Structure 1
């Protein structure tokens, strides 16, 4: 039976990143990872949620190793296709596509901040 740590380690390998990079991205100390590996502790609830979201896996699978159950209503699956994805995208985004999305989000934040600044100036006039 796999432990939570072993499932996290598997996800890290599948993602093609280092443990150090994973820890840095999620704000986890390498000491905590070592404690998880030795079974001295396990990730807290909030960290488990972050890890599951980071790797796009269910908490059931991350914590218990259980595969998600498909909920059916009127005979139709809530998931699409055999891959049980929540969307129809079957391919990973290209690096250029990821960068475009990041730039767009940064631009949107910049515009939102500019609008707030304009609103603040208008109230002070």
Structure 2
């Protein structure tokens, strides 16, 4: 499976849902699904997070197909290393749009971790 859409489609089938039922449950228009299928667009950050949570899969797998479907991991370590956050060689095969999304996801994960740490210190 090479695209986000193909991974979403496989999850829908695995769950025994119809595409229509999936769209209704996650408030996705069938037109958007069609655009994803044709490669005209991809789900936004918030929708990808919802889809990953709905199917209990990692964003790593959903976005890039880099992990097993059953792996849940929230870390950017596979895509960045060291304090300088230098991109590793995996990014040669990614589009600029995908690199930006990964950076945005890592920032979101770091934000969530800070919020959780702040909540634990009170």
TM-score by length of structure 1 reads 0.54
Q: Select the structure of larger CA radius of gyration.
A: 1
- Extract unaligned runs of 5+ from structure 1: 69-82, 87-125
CA–CA separation in structure 2 for the residues paired with 1:58 and 1:16: 20
Superimposed CA distance per residue, residues 42-65 of structure 1 (whole angstroms, 9 cap, x where no aligned partner): 000000000000000000000000
Residue correspondences, number:
72
Q: Which residue of 1 aligns with 2:38?
A: 38
Q: Which residue of 2 aligns with 1:80?
A: none
CA–CA separation in structure 2 for the residues paired with 1:84 and 1:38: 27
Quick one: higher RCO (CA 8 Å, sep 6+), 1 or 2?
2
The DSSP-based 3-state class of the residue aligned with 2:34 is helix
CA–CA separation in structure 2 for the residues paired with 1:14 and 1:40: 25
User: Are the structure 2 counterparts of residues 23 and 84 from structure 1 closer, same or farther at C-alpha, using a change threshold of 3 Å?
Assistant: closer
CA–CA separation in structure 1 for the residues paired with 2:6 and 2:47: 16
How does 1:78-93 map onto structure 2 within 5 Å?
Answer: none
Tell me, yes or no, if structure 1 residue 24 matches structure 2 residue 24.
Answer: yes
Q: Which residue of 2 aligns with 1:5?
A: 5
Q: Quote the offset at 1:84 in angstroms.
A: 5.7
CA–CA separation in structure 2 for the residues paired with 1:62 and 1:85: 11
Consecutive aligned runs of 4 or more in structure 1 exceeding 6 Å deviation: none
Q: CA RMSD in A?
A: 2.0
TM-score by length of structure 2 reads 0.55
